[in-house]
Structure formats: C-alpha cells, structure tokens
Amino acid sequence: MHFSIPDTQEFQQDGSGSKFTGYNINVNGVFHCVVRYKQLHNFHEQLTKEFGQDKLPPFPPKKLFSLSSQELEERRIHLEKYIQIISQDYKIQNSQIFTGFFLNAQHETQSAPGENVSLDVFLMNGHKITVNIVSTDQTDVVHEAVCSSISLNDDYVYYFGLFLVRKESTGDNSIVRKLQDFESPYLSLKAANAQGVHRLVLRKSYWDPSLDDDLIEDRVAMNLLYVQATSDIDRGWVVVDKEHHRRLTALQQKNSKKEFLRLARTLKFYGHLQFKPCTTDYPAANTEVIIHAGNKQITFHIMNGENKGKEGVFQVTRMRCWRITSLNEDVAAKVTAANGASSSSSSSDTSKHMELAIEYLMAKDSLKWVTIVTEQAILISMCLQGMVDELMMKKSGRRIRRPQDRDKSNQSVSFMKRDGTISGEIEEDETVGHKAMESVKRLSDKITSLNIMGKPKSQRSSSSSSHTEPNPSNSSFGGIGDEDL
C-alpha cells in the first residue's frame, strides 16, 4: 500500500475559536482521512504497547509552542515517513490497532454514523448485485455479503475482490484500485462519486491463470470467470485472432462456458489488466506504451518510434525492487505535451502523474532502472505486489484464505477523536446488530514488495510532496537462477 500526507488543512476548534492542523492522509493515491497530530501520537502509543518501541520508527516529538510554517512542513514529512514505514510491516498493517485507526478515521472524516443502507456492486458485464449492509462496514464484511448473496462457495470468496471503477469520458470503465480492509466501501464510493462517476465491481483478484482450475468446476465461480473473460475480450484487453474469435462465438452460442474459458486461457493477455497509454524510457526515452499486467509479468506494447508494434516483457521474478515518486506539475505537463493528446490522461490535472521505477535484471549481473510515467503508477505497483505475494504463497504451500479464517471476535479498539475524547470501539449505531470492525487474519508469510523510495532520475520533483517509503526488496527475486536468464 502507498500512504502519503500530501498536504494539510486548518480547522477551527468548536466553541473555543482556537485553530488546529489536520493532516490529509492519502492511501494508494486517493484521499482517505484527515487526522490531528495528537490522534497519530495516540495511535503510535497503542502500537508501542502492542509491538514494542524497537519495532517502530521514531515518532515526531511534541512541541511546547506553536509551530512555524517550516516546522509544520517538517512535521508533515516526518509523519508521512512514519506511516509509510509502519505500513510496510505486515504484522502492524494487519493488526486491529492499524485497521481500527484508519477505519475510524475515515468514519470521523466523513461524519458517518452507522446506518442500514443498500449498496450496489456490479459485475464486469454490468449485472448489479444489491446488498443490505451498515454504512460503516469494512471491506471484508461487504465483500463476504456480496459473495453470499450470489451463493459463491466460501472456498472461492477471496479469489475475488472489490474494486473501485471509474467511468471515463470515452464511455469505458477504468479500474482505480482494489479496496483495502481498513476502509468502508460505502464511504469510499460516496467520496469517490464527489469527484466523478464511480462504481464498485466484483472481479477476480489473482494473477496466475492456472488458479482457474480451482474454480471452473463450481457453477457460480465459473460464471464469474466467464463474465470477466467475455468483458475483457469485448473491450480488447485479450488478443483474439479471427479463428479464435469464430470458435469463441460458437461456444457462446452453445452456452459452453467451460470450453469457452479453457480456450480463452490460451489467448494472449488472458487475465491481465490493461492500463492507459503512458510513457517509459524503455527501449528509448519518451516511448509511448500500453502496459498489460498479469501471469507473473508486465508487458510493454510500444506505440511509437522505430520499435512501434514491438513488445518488452518484464518478469516479476527479475525485478529486484520498485519505487514510486510524484512528478511536479511542470515535468508532468512537459511529458504530456511531448507525447501528444493521445497519450494524456483523461484528467486535465497533470499533477496526478507519477513515476514508477523498476530495478530490473536485464542480464546476468546487469541491473537497470526502467521508469514509467503514468497516473496509474500506484495501481501498477499494487499489481506487482499482488503477483509477488501470490508467488510466495504458492511457494510456501498455502492457499487463498476463506471467510472462516477471518477473526470475528469483535474486540474493542480504542480511538482518539479530533476533540481528544476516546471511543472504545468503532462508532456505529448499536441497533444495527453487527459491528463494522472485524480484523483480518492474513497469511503469516505475506510479502510487502512495494518499494517507494528515492529519486533515480533527474525528472523527479524537488518538491517536498514527493513520496518516499522504505526499501524492501522483492523476495521472489532471490530465487532466480542462471537458467532464468
């Protein structure tokens, strides 16, 4: 996950007239909540009691007097670094303290009491599933409710996930991000729709197409795979020649869904995500590409220059690490202008551009940085992290978790509100009948491979808004041998 505190806002204390600073926290490039310094300090104290001071980075100290503008900026940077470091620790990230803090902070930011609501979740073909939930329910609770409503076998629930999808001006839908466990899908959708037309979509969340074998004999799971496959083919994400198109059409007409899926799995880019056109320095500077991610690799389809039509394939197991950096508006504008309108984002806000840099093993003993400039840098990096996690899960002999693996003990979580009062648990109307806060038992060997650190290229912004995180390496990279090169 990518945490950042890009800026702050000033609040006026109710009644007293005094003012305080709120820190705007973004998760995976999207605004999540605003919190005060003292709330983060209380959060740090809870983590210290649970994990010990030696497991945590230094926390910015308290000050006796009001902070100057420079001191306030320094505190923002230090708080951002603190959250980025602790979010890289899977034990902390999956603790009730961590999940409860960010879920509660989202509730308080949106002034959201727990109430019974209906929520629409869609399949990739537009089919709507409506579930009755509590507005403050976290992602896992909502996800399981959706899967239960379509009678999906518990063994296959977490082969799928809830994704936030945006409708573009072209009429197409683009995937924004996968929802995290410490947020409320209802509130996240409400916030997103203030900036455009969004919807929640249920789609598969694994990358290895061989895992289809686990689902294809189950009627409901197979239907979900079929819906996604037909959608990806229709929108051109999967490469289909005329002969395969004819055979697929014949199978559709006979309603032979299993055979359709088995044939579709043989096609190029089956099960991949396709991203918007963007710019990379591979194989040359200012190369415009379309990126596909899936099946343990990302592929660059080159759109311009002397290499137009060619492709570059980058295996996840040969990526030592990767990192993300924000580009300032001037650099982003130059990149957009250099590539023309066809490669620009659907958004006119060039400040949304970011750079994803991948350290890649090009040849034996030859590591090279490959950079990508795109507003979808965080989504691409999360896809890479998902593929690495999947590789490590299979290596350890584990399987994708099930709803019964989730801790449903409803333990109380302490949360300091902005006014300094302490709530003992997630704020929610007690008449609703179930609590929103339920922690998740994760795979004990989950690997955090997202690397967001440093500035490998001169194009990076000198602004303090650039995001930096610790530098964990890709654990699947360690198993590479000469036969892989």
Q: Please give the structure tokens belonging to residue 463.
A: 């602004």
Q: Do residues 125 and 133 make contact, with C-beta atoms less than 8 angstroms apart?
A: no
Q: What is the identity of the amino acid at 292?
A: H
What is the per-residue pLDDT for 480?
Answer: 52
pLDDT tens, position by position, 306-355: 999 999 999 999 999 999 887 755 544 444 444 444 333 333 343 357 89
What is the per-residue pLDDT for 328?
Answer: 58
Query: How many CB atoms are located within 10 Å of the residue 6 CB?
Result: 19
The pTM (predicted TM-score) of the whole model is 0.80
Q: Tell me if residue 83 falls in helix, strand or coil.
A: helix
Give how far the C-alpha of residue 470 lies from the chain's centroid of Cα atoms, to the nearest Å. 18
What is the per-residue pLDDT for 424?
Answer: 63
Q: Do residues 201 and 228 make contact, with C-beta atoms less than 8 angstroms apart?
A: no
Of the CATH numbers 3.30.1520.10, 3.40.605.10, 3.40.109.10, 3.30.365.10, which one belongs to the domain with range 3-87?
Answer: 3.30.1520.10
DSSP bridge pairs for 163? 178, 201
Q: In what order do the strands lie in the sheet with 173-178?
A: 128-134, 116-122, 198-204, 160-167, 173-178
3-state helix, strand, coil in the chain (%, to 5): 35, 25, 40
Task: Return the CATH fold of 116-264.
Answer: Ubiquitin-like (UB roll) (3.10.20)
Q: Do residues 245 and 236 make contact, with C-beta atoms less than 8 angstroms apart?
A: no
Domain boundaries, the chain: 3-87, 116-264, 273-397+449-480
| Per-position DSSP letters for 170-213, written without gaps between them | TS-EEEEEEPPTTS-HHHHHHHHTTSS-EEEEEEE----GGGHH
**What is the chain's pLDDT, residue by residue, as a tens digit (485 residues)?**
789 999 999 987 766 667 889 999 998 878 999 999 999 999 999 999 999 999 999 999 988 788 899 999 999 999 999 999 999 888 898 899 999 999 999 999 998 788 999 999 999 888 999 999 999 999 999 999 999 999 999 999 999 999 999 988 777 788 989 999 999 999 999 999 887 799 999 999 999 999 999 999 999 999 999 999 999 999 999 999 999 999 999 999 999 999 999 999 999 999 999 999 999 999 999 999 999 999 999 999 999 989 999 999 999 999 999 998 877 555 444 444 444 443 333 333 433 578 999 999 999 889 999 999 998 999 999 999 999 999 999 888 888 989 988 766 655 678 999 888 888 644 444 333 333 333 323 322 332 333 333 334 434 333 333 343 444 567 667 555 444 44
What is the per-residue pLDDT for 131?
Answer: 97
Q: Tell me if residue 149 falls in helix, strand or coil.
A: helix
What is the per-residue pLDDT for 53?
Answer: 92
The strand pair at 198-204 and 116-122 is best described as parallel
**In the structure, how many helices (H) and strands (E) does the chain have?**
12, 18
DSSP strands (E only) in 135-197: 160-167, 173-178
Architecture per CATH, 273-397+449-480: Roll (2.30)
